[in-house]
A and B are shown apart, each in its own frame.
Chain A
Amino acid sequence: MKVQVLFFGATADETGEREIEFSLAENTNANQAFAEIVEKFPRLKNHKLLFAVNQEYASGGEIVKGGDELAVFTAVSGG
C-alpha cells in the first residue's frame, strides 16, 4: 500500500523532499512506518524527530492505512 509522507523545515532540507509517496506493507504500525522512512533517509537521524499520522501526533502503535498522510518533522519552533 502507498502513503504520502510530508517533510518540513530541517527534515525537508535533509531529505531534499517535501512530499513523497512511500510503500509500506499492510498492517504496518506508525512506529514501523517511521523507522522505514528514517532508514530510507538516514540523514534524518541527525535530529530528534516528531511524527504525525493524518495531521495528529502519532502514538506509535496505530496501524497505518493506504492513503494516510504521514509527516516527519523536528521539534517545533514557532512563536
Chain B
Amino acid sequence: MDFFEITNDPLDVGAIARRVVPANCGATITLDGYVRQFTKGRETLHLVYEAYEPMALKEMEKLIAKARERFEIENVGIVHRLGKLEIGETSVVVTVAAPHRRAAFEACEWLIKELKRTVPIWKKEVYRGGEIWIEGEPAIKN
C-alpha cells in the first residue's frame, strides 16, 4: 500500500508515517523536510513550490518501484506539499517501513536524494531583497 501524493494542504508528519504499519515490520523511518530559514547566511522569508503534477506523480511511482528493487522494505509513502510555505513548515515527507531499520534508513536517504534529482517540482526562494527559482543539479540527461 505504497502512496505518493502532491497536496496544497499542510502535512501532518506523524499521521503520514503511521498510515501504513505493516504487520511484518518493526520500524518506520520518516524524513520530515521543512523550510530552512538560513542558507549560507542568506535569510529565507518563505518558499513557493510548484510541480508538473502528473509527471511528478509518475516519477515518484518509478522511484518507489526502484527502491523496492534495491532495499528490503515493505512500504513507502511520499507526500510533497505545494504553494507558499513558511519557515519551519513541512514541504516533503518520505516514510519507509521495513522489517528491520537499516534498510529503511538507507531507502529513505536514497528516495529523498533521487526525489530532489528527478521529480519535477521546483521551489522559489523569497529572501530579504529578492526572489529566485532554485535550479537543482542538472543530473537528468536529455
Residue contact B122 to A8, C-beta cutoff 8 Å = yes
B99 to chain A, nearest CB (A): 27
Please give, as numbers and ranges, the residues of chain B lying within 8 Å of A76 by CB-CB distance. 116-122, 136, 140
A48 to chain B, nearest CB (A): 4
Give residues of chain A (32-79) contacting chain B, Cβ–Cβ below 8 Å: 34, 47-52, 55-60, 71, 73-79
Does B123 sit at the interface, judged by CB under 8 A? yes
Does A17 sit at the interface, judged by CB under 8 A? no
Does B92 sit at the interface, judged by CB under 8 A? yes
A1 to chain B, nearest CB (A): 22
For A, the interface residue count at a CB cutoff of 8 angstroms equals: 26
Q: List 13 A-B contacts (CB under 8 A).
A: A8-B120, A9-B50, A9-B124, A56-B55, A60-B142, A71-B52, A75-B136, A76-B118, A78-B49, A78-B80, A78-B116, A78-B123, A79-B116
Please give, as numbers and ranges, the residues of chain B lying within 8 Å of A47 by CB-CB distance. 135
Interface residues on B, range: 20 to 34
Please give, as numbers and ranges, the residues of chain A lying within 8 Å of B135 by CB-CB distance. 10, 47-48, 74-75, 77
Top-9 shortest CB links A-B = A78-B121, A9-B122, A10-B133, A55-B55, A77-B134, A75-B138, A79-B116, A75-B136, A77-B136
Once the chains are docked, how many angstroms separate the CA of A77 from the CA of B138? 10
Residue contact A74 to B133, C-beta cutoff 8 Å = yes
Please give, as numbers and ranges, the residues of chain A lying within 8 Å of B54 by CB-CB distance. 55
7 further A-B pairs in the complex, CB-CB below 8 A; given A6-B52, A71-B120: A47-B135, A55-B55, A55-B58, A76-B122, A76-B140, A77-B135, A78-B80
Does B33 sit at the interface, judged by CB under 8 A? yes
**Chain B 58-97 per-residue mask, 1 if CB under 8 angstroms from chain A, else 0:** 1000000000000000000000100000000001100000
Please give, as numbers and ranges, the residues of chain B lying within 8 Å of A8 by CB-CB distance. 50-52, 120, 122
Once the chains are docked, how many angstroms separate the CA of A56 from the CA of B51? 14
Does B137 sit at the interface, judged by CB under 8 A? yes
Please give, as numbers and ranges, the residues of chain B lying within 8 Å of A49 by CB-CB distance. 142
Which of A52, A55, A60 has the most chain B CB within a 10 Å cutoff? A55
